[in-house]
Each structure stands twice: as structure tokens, then as C-alpha cells.
Structure 1
């Protein structure tokens, strides 16, 4: 089956009420006539209301950068799947290397978040990837397999139906370094093959995004690779023009 590309913007800890409205208006204008590529944005959770209102009438989907495993109760500071649904959020990033590093989130904990999202009918965007040291030690495949297996071994391959995996080499996030298209393709193929060992049909439809210094300059070449189905975009997603170039490149390359 033909996989429909997905380009998603991860705004990280950036923005304001005014910025959110302004950026969404810019994206709506730039992307009004773009077909054949799904688009989502993940502003800070504080600005989901502004983003939801600003996105009315557009095809751009709303996402979030994180979720917690509990639905309600005495969990101060947490955010539930039900609350995200209340704002129309659809694509939820989990396991981002910044969460794994700064908040000590384990593979097991990320898998629990994956399960919570599936149960709620939301789409997990599972981030995986290796550090520079792991990359240099030749452990890229081992690390990616371990991070995927946390979900595969607890929820089964079928959990990846309708899900997204974002391969983000940690050494390429926000550094300006990017994997070459060939390097990225090799890992994406490894990820798809790894899931295919359990279920080929699931592997064929799972959306694999590349992340890590994706910008308007390198996007087109990345998207020509057969197993790269889109991108999880950081810094470039904060500028309507740069982000739109990436979306248009995906739409063109995949159609």
C-alpha cells in the first residue's frame, strides 16, 4: 500500500499566544493548496487552545509533545490522553530524546505511554535514536531495536498499525549535523524490516519519519528515499516558509 507522508513540527519549548496564532495563519496560507502530505504541529501544551482555534478550517492536524499514563486523579502537573483529545490533538510525540535524557524516561515507561495513546485512539509518534557515542560504536541498530522492542514485546506488532516512528539520531538533533539520505534510509529500512519479522503488513504501513536537523535545504533528498515517509521537524517548524518548503518537498517526492 502507498504510505501517505507525514510532516510534523515539534515546536519544543518555544512560542507564545501571539506567536502561535501568527505561525498557524502563516502555515494555513502557505499550505492551502498542498495535496498528498499530512501535516501536523505540536506546540507546547499551554498553547493547544490557541492552536486549535487558529487551525479551524485547515487540514493541518494538532499534536502534542508528550502525554502521561494516567487518565485522571492525584497526579500533579500531569496531562492525560483525555485532555489532549478535548483539544482535538491527534498525533502525540513520545520518547523524544530530550524527555529520555532530561526526565530519565525509560524504554518501558515510553511503551506505557504508547499503550495509553492507543487505548485512547490517539496516534503515537514514537521517537527512537542513538547517541553519537553509540553511533560511533556501531550500536545504532541495536539501540533502535531495543527501543522498538519495548513496544513490540508488551503490545505486539499490531500496536504499530496506524502509528508513527520517528528515527532521530541524537547527534543530529539541533546540531546542524544530519544523517546523509543514504544513512537515514539504511536505518529506516532496518526499522521496517525489524517490525516485518513479526508482521509484514504492519511494517508496510507504519509511517517512518526522519528527524534531526531536517531543513528546507536537505528535505527533498531525504524524501526521495523509499523508506523515509516524512519528517519530524524541530527548529525549521518555527518558520512558516521553511516548514512549508519541507511539506511541499514531501508531497512532491512521494506523489
Structure 2
């Protein structure tokens, strides 16, 4: 049995407000932090809000520390408002904002340099999946990050999010998800066995209260990166409870 503490992350994307944040924190604060870790990643403007014992994460980070980069937010700024995690390389950032593997790797380094923990997103498109390229894509994306890390530590998280399952209602089967998660762990083991044993690998892609318990029951799935279902307090709370170790 894995000793990795389950992690469930709410990615609100361009959604949510102060009331939702307040209500979510009140409910999540009742969870046993020794059994499951819950994190909220709201839009930037709400990151300075008090979230009690619930960790906050940012949805993006600049690869630069400072300078003439209008609209960007640095790791130092995120840490200054109490952030602990940063989502890096989400498929929407890759597809809509042109973030390449190299850019994602630079943002991971910036996150670690700021003393924050990156949640590194990887995943294949529907076309890549149909062409049998899933493991090729995942391997490329994972190695692009690992190859530039100055040292190995347990201060990184990976999230497998098949692009074809994000916001579509489609979900990878437990077998499909576990196969990819196992592959990611094998890639990690190729670099460092301790890294492979300690790194949490999350699943994302239309996770909901109905399918989360079965998904989280897989050996190599250590929690979830939750999109739409994280905008409903009851739904997200149930998902977190389904991840309890």
C-alpha cells in the first residue's frame, strides 16, 4: 500500500468568487489533514484571501522573477500571498497560450526556485490517443521537466490529464488511467527510485463524485486535479472524502 498522502486540487480556472472560496474553505477545514490534502487554486485575484488551514495554489506562474512583463505573476509574489502550489503546463495553457515543453520546464524551475511545489500537467490529445501515441507524448512531456531539474526531490507533483477527457464528460477508464500513471512512475524511477516512490501523481479529466472513488483506488493514482466539479462545494467535498487514505 502506498504511503503517499492523497492530494485533491481544485482548479477553478476562470470561475468562482469570494463567497465560493469562503464556503469551500469552511467545508474543507473539517477534513482530516492526515488522511487527505485539499488545495484550492482560484483565479489570481483571490489568492490573498485567508483560507485557514487549506493550502492555496496558483493556476500559472511567470518563468521570470521580475521585469517588464505586463500581466505576469512571479513565484516570489505567489509565495508572498501564501501560495504553496502552482499548476504548471495545464493543457489549456499549452493549447491556448502556446506553452511548449521547454516553457513548461522553465516554469517548473521558477516554481521550485521560489520554494513552491509545481503540479506538472501532462496528457495526450484525442488524435494522439487514436494514433497510439499516448505513452510517447507522456514520456516526452515528463522527461522535458526531469531533464532540467537541478536536483531530485519529493517537491514535485505530476497530474495526468488526458486532453480528450477535460470538460468533455469523458473519463479514462481506471485501467487506462492506471496504465499511464504506472508509466509515469516508471519514468521517474529511471531517474531516481526515491523520486518515484514519493512523487504524487494525480488524475484529472472529468473527475466527479461518482467516479472518483474507483479512480483513487488504483495503486498509482494519488488523488485528482479537479476542474468543473470543484466549483460545487458538495461535489468537491465528496471527491476529497473519496480520496481519504
- Smaller-chain TM-score range? over 0.9
Match of 1:95 among 77, 86, 89: 89
Question: What is residue 22 of structure 1 aligned with on the other side?
Answer: 23
Question: What is residue 62 of structure 2 aligned with on the other side?
Answer: 68
C-alpha distance in structure 2 between counterparts of 1:206 and 1:35, whole Å: 17
C-alpha distance in structure 2 between counterparts of 1:24 and 1:64, whole Å: 16
Match of 1:232 among 217, 225, 239: 225
C-alpha distance in structure 1 between counterparts of 2:13 and 2:236, whole Å: 15
Question: What is residue 4 of structure 2 aligned with on the other side?
Answer: 3
Return closer, same or farther for 1:160/1:169 CA change in 2, 3 Å cut-off: farther
CA contact (8 A) 2:23 2:233 kept: no
C-alpha distance in structure 2 between counterparts of 1:204 and 1:72, whole Å: 35
Deviation of 1:16 (Å): 2.2
C-alpha distance in structure 2 between counterparts of 1:15 and 1:182, whole Å: 33
| TM-score normalised by structure 2 residue count | 0.95
Question: What is residue 79 of structure 1 aligned with on the other side?
Answer: 73
Deviations 1:87-140 (A, max 9, x none): 111010000000001100000000000001111110000000000000111111
Match of 1:183 among 173, 176, 184: 176
**Residue ranges of structure 2 left out of the alignment (5+ in a row):** none
**Does residue 206 of the first structure (1) align with residue 199 of the second (2)?**
yes
DSSP 3-state at the match of 1:155: coil
Deviation of 1:9 (Å): 0.5
DSSP 3-state at the match of 1:100: helix
Trace 1:1-255 onto structure 2 (pairs within 5 A). Answer: 2-28=3-29, 31-33=30-32, 35-50=34-49, 53=50, 55-56=51-52, 58=53, 60-155=54-149, 158-159=151-152, 161-251=154-244, 254=245
CA contact (8 A) 1:188 1:208 kept: yes
Deviates more, 1:203-212 or 1:144-153: 144-153
| TM-score normalised by structure 1 residue count | 0.92
Across the aligned residues of Structure 1 and Structure 2, the Cα RMSD in angstroms comes to 1.4
DSSP 3-state at the match of 2:243: helix
C-alpha distance in structure 1 between counterparts of 2:217 and 2:48, whole Å: 35
CA contact (8 A) 2:207 2:226 kept: yes
Structure number with higher helix proportion: 1
DSSP 3-state at the match of 1:75: coil
C-alpha distance in structure 2 between counterparts of 1:161 and 1:33, whole Å: 22
The ranges of structure 1 where at least 4 consecutive aligned residues each deviate by more than 6 angstroms after the TM superposition are: none
CA contact (8 A) 1:161 1:202 kept: yes
Deviation of 1:49 (Å): 1.9
C-alpha distance in structure 1 between counterparts of 2:117 and 2:206, whole Å: 23
**Residue ranges of structure 1 left out of the alignment (5+ in a row):** none
